[in-house]
Structure 1
Amino acid sequence: MSLDSERTIQELKALRELTGDEHGAQRVAFTDTWVAARKFLTDRLAELPVEVHTDPAGNLWATLEGESNKELLIGGHLDSVPNGGWLDGCLNVLAGLEVLRRVAAQGKPPVTVRLVDWADEEGARFGRSLYGSSAAGGNIDISEMRKLRDRDGTSLEDALARVGVTLGNAPEARSELKHAAAYLELHIEQGPVLEGLGLPLGAVLGTFGVERHIITFHGQAAHSGSTPMNVRRDAFRAAGQFSQEIYVIAERHGGVCTVGSCKTLPGIVTSVVETCEITLDQRHLDAGKLAAMWQDAQEAAQRFAGEGGCTVTFGDLWSIEPIPFHPELIEAADASILDVVPRSHRLPSGPLHDAAEVARAGVPTVMLFVQSLRGISHNSIEDTEEAHIRQSVEALDRLTDRAMAWIGGT
């Protein structure tokens, strides 16, 4: 049986029909819709000569035994954000399914090939991205995970129990990477770079490092009518001046940054703001430049606070170092793209992906990106041209053969 990339498109559409509505994809992790998406996948895996199981963290594995116990992993995630797009995550899985079909039809492969659907990549429900791959990579703190609640107050532990997973056992998923020799992941770009270049596909250099912090400016509440402007200690003004400066900092270092939220106290129209809390997300592919961005941000916050008669404090939210992908697999990804289209492009990934946790665990890793129309994702209008989807499946297939050969030679 040859590869049928058109079948991937039809299965993506069928999954959209099953698990979406007029607002977009609704495959939020551990919900009934997510369970239905998993069944959609396992029903198709049942047609293949693979062993299927769910690991202690809730990741789903399909294993095609090869001549060697060295393993090539192909991964993605079926879960989505609420009202998400039809391709984010599930393209990875269903393209991998089609490649697995092709490999299985040709007999026993030279190495073992495994398809994985990682559990809760998005973190949309409990706020902790990359849950399943973090567990498999050995980078999970169960005591912290037990504290997580969704907006309805349901704990992650209870949500997992509902789908037959015991949170306390999640670290045992580490054994799944015991024989992993390479990891491949295809994903929509979720950004505008490839579209801007007029290219369908790109090879990913690695994922940005991320620094996330809470920055709180402390001023003095005072009556908004009777307090002259020149004596106000306005925490919001200091935060606003700082928020302008972080864009200058990001441009200076070649990174990106976002102020994602802003909370003020007392939060009434008749009072000068006493406390202004903002969240800052900074990202860069270079660890030294990422550290410099955060240092510059702290200095700027202190400067604007001081100029406004305020003080400022800093809190840590979360961080991950930049994760470079394997140089030989990047070369293989480039060559596989060029098998399918005339030009390739190498680019970093701003968003995090399960590939980052797998690479962090020491498994040689690479990703392929396929162009996103308008650069938009996590939105119901997320889209990619069908011709480009077909080309992405074909490039992943070529990369699979190259990766198997590479594993055999290592």
Structure 2
Amino acid sequence: MWRDLGAIGRDKDSGGYRRLAWTPADADCRAWFRAQAETRGLAYEVDRNGNQWAWLGDPAAGDAVVTGSHLDSVPDGGAFDGPLGVVSSFAALDELRARGVRPSRPLAIVNFGDEEGARFGLACVGSRLTAGQLGLDKAHALRDAEGISLAQAMERAGYDPEAIGPDPERLARIGAFVELHVEQGRALADTDDAVGIASAIWPHGRWRFDFHGEANHAGTTRIEDRRDPMLTYANTVLAARKKARLAGALATFGKVSVEPNGVNAIPSLVRGWLDSRAADQGTLDLVVAEIEKAAVERGERDGIDVRITRESFTPVIEFEHALRDELGRILGKDGGTAVPVLGTGAGHDAGILSGAVPTAMLFVRNPTGVSHSPAETASEDDCLAGVTALADVLEGLACR
């Protein structure tokens, strides 16, 4: 499975993956998922929001145990973020069958669409739509860098954009959702533990900073006559790093666009996107407020109009304690050592669904902590340990 999936959407120059939502690479990943489901005799379906499902047992019976993750990537992303969870889900089902156990509850594997938000700028679109956290109008208004709307992209890929929206009936069938994911960080790297359990997802959001200046000639405009938004943007980037470091938070300007984007032209507009996260809401609010203040104050000095828009936000998400504790009991059986419980700054579909169904997460050790990069990795032994852990959890939840 890993070998077959690994060839899809990989850039030969960077070595990273470019599996953006509703592109040919995404379609190939979706075809792979369907083939895996049908090879195992699972009932395959696509929901109204384009998420793929593979069912063992009757979906209408309710109280289903669901696992899975996503197959799309960030630009030049790594091989493990998302796909490890999907591949491990199919492998865990194979393990359950090899053990000869029979689920007493319906069991499903899911591939949520457009989790990374790399194309349309909003993460977890598939799960947000399903959970009713993304309205139809806003969803249809999402556009990529080429001006193609989400609706147009879905339609071109063969899906009905008019059908998207909340899916409470589907969510009501789910008794528990457990997502396995490669660790995005290195909390497990210096331990003897290949697998950890998630405790919570930090509050996080994305803010767009628009710095409006005045376009002019780079070779003839005196320094004192310039209204250069690049200077204000650069100062804001440095301020973000400083404010986050002092508060023990995270703040990153990872995307920028420039107009008119000429080598010999002073920009008229610099637009940058801030991603900020912290362990608690108060810290996050403080850091973002200080970054915004630094941007506005520097803009006043530079003669730049600064406009700030919050594009998305997710509050702190505590995974259901009862389900989390149940995972701990299952994986710590026979008096074994307690499984580490970790917080994470990364968002996930499990976090989006947590407001509607009990959710939990397993992390597989990442020796370097690198993620969203071709250097992202996990050892084969640790991946297999993750499969075994997921199979144990599914057996404990669905086969009791």
Shift, 1:263, TM fit: 4.8
Query: Secondary structure at the residue paired with 1:195?
Result: coil
Closer/same/farther in 2, CA of residues 216 and 185 from structure 1, 3 Å limit: same
- Relative to its length, the structure with more helix (as a share) is 1
User: Do residues 99 (structure 1) and 92 (structure 2) align?
Assistant: yes
Quick one: which amino acid aligns to residue 71 of structure 1?
A
Question: Which residues in structure 2 correspond to 1:214-225 (within 5 Å)?
Answer: 214-218=208-212
The equivalent residue for 1:29 is 21
The answer (yes or no) to whether the contact 2:61–2:173 under 8 Å persists in 1 is no
Shift, 1:391, TM fit: 0.6
Closer/same/farther in 2, CA of residues 403 and 295 from structure 1, 3 Å limit: farther
The answer (yes or no) to whether the contact 2:174–2:357 under 8 Å persists in 1 is yes
The equivalent residue for 1:358 is 353
The answer (yes or no) to whether the contact 1:188–1:372 under 8 Å persists in 2 is yes
User: Do residues 79 (structure 1) and 69 (structure 2) align?
Assistant: no
The equivalent residue for 1:7 is none
Quick one: which amino acid aligns to residue 389 of structure 2?
A
Shift, 1:338, TM fit: 4.3
Distance 1:235 1:83 in 2: 28
Deviates more, 1:337-346 or 1:102-111: 337-346
The equivalent residue for 2:388 is 394
The equivalent residue for 2:278 is 284
Deviates more, 1:287-296 or 1:228-237: 228-237
Deviates more, 1:396-405 or 1:287-296: 396-405
The equivalent residue for 1:328 is 322
Shift, 1:389, TM fit: 0.3
Quick one: which amino acid aligns to residue 349 of structure 2?
D
Which of 32, 36, 46 pairs up with 2:38? Answer: 46
The answer (yes or no) to whether the contact 1:68–1:110 under 8 Å persists in 2 is no
Question: Which residues in structure 2 correspond to 1:192-231 (within 5 Å)?
Answer: 192-197=186-191, 199-218=193-212
Query: Secondary structure at the residue paired with 1:202?
Result: strand
The answer (yes or no) to whether the contact 1:136–1:175 under 8 Å persists in 2 is no
Any gaps of 5 or more consecutive residues in structure 2?
A: none
Deviates more, 1:346-355 or 1:45-54: 45-54
Distance 2:162 2:137 in 1: 9
Closer/same/farther in 2, CA of residues 312 and 68 from structure 1, 3 Å limit: closer
Shift, 1:330, TM fit: 2.4
Shift, 1:384, TM fit: 0.8
Which of 334, 337, 349 pairs up with 2:344? Answer: 349
The equivalent residue for 2:153 is 159
Closer/same/farther in 2, CA of residues 228 and 386 from structure 1, 3 Å limit: same
Q: TM-score, normalised by structure 1?
A: 0.82
Quick one: which amino acid aligns to residue 347 of structure 1?
L
Superposition RMSD on alpha carbons, in Å?
A: 3.3
The answer (yes or no) to whether the contact 2:101–2:395 under 8 Å persists in 1 is no
Closer/same/farther in 2, CA of residues 168 and 309 from structure 1, 3 Å limit: closer
Question: Which residues in structure 2 correspond to 1:152-191 (within 5 Å)?
Answer: 152-171=146-165, 173-191=167-185
Shift, 1:91, TM fit: 1.4
Quick one: which amino acid aligns to residue 358 of structure 1?
L
Question: Which residues in structure 2 correspond to 1:215-364 (within 5 Å)?
Answer: 215-218=209-212, 235-263=229-257, 276-308=270-302, 310-338=304-332, 344-360=339-355, 362-364=356-358
Quick one: which amino acid aligns to residue 73 of structure 1?
V
Closer/same/farther in 2, CA of residues 339 and 170 from structure 1, 3 Å limit: same
CA deviation profile, 1:157-189 (whole Å, cap 9, x unmatched) = 233234432111121544221121211000111
Question: Which residues in structure 2 correspond to 1:115-130 (within 5 Å)?
Answer: 115-130=109-124
Query: Secondary structure at the residue paired with 2:188?
Result: helix
The answer (yes or no) to whether the contact 1:26–1:84 under 8 Å persists in 2 is yes
The equivalent residue for 1:12 is 2
Distance 2:221 2:119 in 1: 43
The equivalent residue for 1:6 is none
Deviates more, 1:180-189 or 1:273-282: 273-282
CA deviation profile, 1:276-296 (whole Å, cap 9, x unmatched) = 443222112422322222222
Shift, 1:257, TM fit: 0.4
Query: Secondary structure at the residue paired with 1:333?
Result: helix
Quick one: which amino acid aligns to residue 35 of structure 1?
A
Shift, 1:259, TM fit: 1.5
Shift, 1:268, TM fit: 6.2
Closer/same/farther in 2, CA of residues 13 and 250 from structure 1, 3 Å limit: same
Query: Secondary structure at the residue paired with 2:62?
Result: strand
Distance 1:18 1:277 in 2: 32
Query: Secondary structure at the residue paired with 1:109?
Result: coil
Shift, 1:393, TM fit: 0.8
The answer (yes or no) to whether the contact 1:64–1:104 under 8 Å persists in 2 is no
Which of 46, 50, 59 pairs up with 2:51? Answer: 59
Which of 361, 364, 382 pairs up with 2:376? Answer: 382
Distance 2:138 2:118 in 1: 17
The equivalent residue for 1:4 is none
Quick one: which amino acid aligns to residue 70 of structure 1?
D
Deviates more, 1:270-279 or 1:15-24: 270-279
Closer/same/farther in 2, CA of residues 225 and 168 from structure 1, 3 Å limit: closer
CA deviation profile, 1:288-324 (whole Å, cap 9, x unmatched) = 3222222222233333334556553322222222222
Distance 1:232 1:349 in 2: 43
